[in-house]
Amino acid sequence: MRSGRRSPSRTSQSRASLSRRLLTGAAVVGVVTTATAGVGIAAESAQRPDTRAHLAPEVQLKSSSANAGETTPAGESTKAKNMILFVGDGMGAAARQAGRLALAGLDRDLYMDSLPVSGLVHTSPEDPEAFITDSAAGATAYATGVKTFNGAVGVDARGNAVPTILERASAAGKATGLVTTGQITDATPAAFAAHVSDRGQQSLIAQQYLTSSQPDVLLGGGEDWWLPAGTPGAFPDAPAEDPEEGSRSEHGNLLQQAQNDGYTYVNSAESLQQADGEKLLGLFANQEMFQQNPEGEGDIYDPVVSLQQMTTKALDTLANDEEGFFLVVEEEGVDEFAHSNNGAKTIQAIDELDKAVLAARTFAEQDGETLVITTADHETGGLSVESVDEEDESGAGEAEGISAEDGPFPVLGGPGEFVMDWTTSGHTGVDVPLTAYGPGSQLLSGTYENTYVHDAMLTALLGR
């Protein structure tokens, strides 16, 4: 047991009650489906925030020309006991706008966009061969405050390990957690809790989780990396949708090691809901918790548990630490479906992320000591959002046979429709938006390097 833990107080019991309602889906939102031109998009039946009736801003925003890091308004606290960082992998401004139009409509915001402080993040790596980042270098900048080369997690440009904010939070007595719809050992979560020069060393990353950084909560996909080849798990090897999937740990049975180390292991919605303990490992797929294929060939996003459910369970578990917690939550689907230029599934992934942000915002409003941040590591797809214009059709994309334009999609509540126009199946170098709520959020207004996000988080969480 981490020093400083205590039995849940009345406040934490109320949080647990909220968590149970969120896990069962009773307290948040329902889903309805609208469709245009045969394209289905999930939309909230509950209304999202009204853009014409803004929440009273929690902080006095700095002017758009202010430099990041200026003195914050008098009397505003920059100290957060808890921190929740959401990373919509590959989610640029246009993706957020497409999500808003499809899921909220013109007069309302996504939950992530209703967070009152906003910033703009430069995303370049320190790589002699590239100025456009990948997820590994992008997440490492957030995790360590240091730029590095593409493919590297938790190390600097010379390959030296750099302490992460998760490790610093743990050393300060705080509980820590990683949640993702991708593989829990993939680049974004790994950057906060492992140190390797090659993001592909996922079995080694899993081993480092257990032997070094030891996050209290690990929830996501990627069971394959925790079991030796030939060892059966909860999810069969070589499934029909991806015959290449299969157990492949190079460091022994890490799933058994985790349980020996005190982790409660879960692999279903029921076992996740029932789990009770301070250390939780949940693996809900062989690899990612979705299946992306070439467009029109059966993309699947129907996970065993939702990102909202995983986020809520993580909060329920971590909130019992009296010193506070640091939690990273990633929606990997935005990036993967944008790589496939699949507009409908990209919007679905944004919807899943937005529901998780709502759960965190609800927690933070009740708690009063929690900083919530939503951003991206980079943009994927070179996306623009356009009106439907038959004289301005992009036609079939030349690269890899994928379409250059998706849609049309209905604007929720009207008027009209929009299309999503892709220019690449890769990453781009555009800045990505950031929104924040809670103590310390005022540090994140302005335009800044991705490394500054780390510095602001460290200041807010640990006063450094």
Residue 454 annotated in ligand binding: no
| Residue 48 CB contacts under 8 Å (≥ 6 apart), including other chains | 103, 104, 108, 109, 110, 111, 114, 354
* DSSP string of 94-152, one letter each residue: HHHHHHHHHHT-TTB--TGGGSSEEEEEE----BTTBSS--HHHHHHHHHHS----TT-
Angle of helix 135-144 relative to helix 450-462, nearest 10 degrees, comes to 30
| 54 annotated ligand binder | no
Token pair listed for 97:
């706008």
Could you list the active site residues?
135
330 is in an annotated binding site: yes
Nearest alpha-carbon partner for 457 in 55, 5, 119, 90: 119
**Residue 127 is labelled as binding a ligand:** no
- 210's CB contacts (< 8 A; 6+ apart) are 254, 257, 258, 261
Residue 335 labeled ligand binder: yes
389 annotated binding-site participant: no
Angle separating helix axes 343-367 and 307-318, nearest 10 degrees: 20
The response to whether 122 counts as a known ligand-binding position is: no
**Residue 455 to residue 440: CA distance in whole angstroms:** 11
Q: What are phi and psi of 373, to 5 degrees?
A: -125, 135
Residues paired with 387 in a beta bridge: 418
Instruction: Check if the beta carbon of residue 443 is closer than 8 Å to that of residue 456.
Output: yes
Instruction: Please name the residue that has the structure tokens 């032997």.
Output: 211
Half-sphere exposure of 65 toward its Cβ, with a 13 Å CA cutoff?
Answer: 0
**186 in a known ligand binding site:** yes
Chain centroid offset of residue 287 CA: 16
Question: Which residue ranges make up the annotated binding site?
Answer: 89, 186, 188, 330, 335, 339, 377-378, 427
Question: Which residue ranges make up the annotated binding site for Zn(2+)?
Answer: 89, 335, 339, 377-378, 427
Question: Which residue ranges make up the annotated binding site for Mg(2+)?
Answer: 89, 186, 188, 330
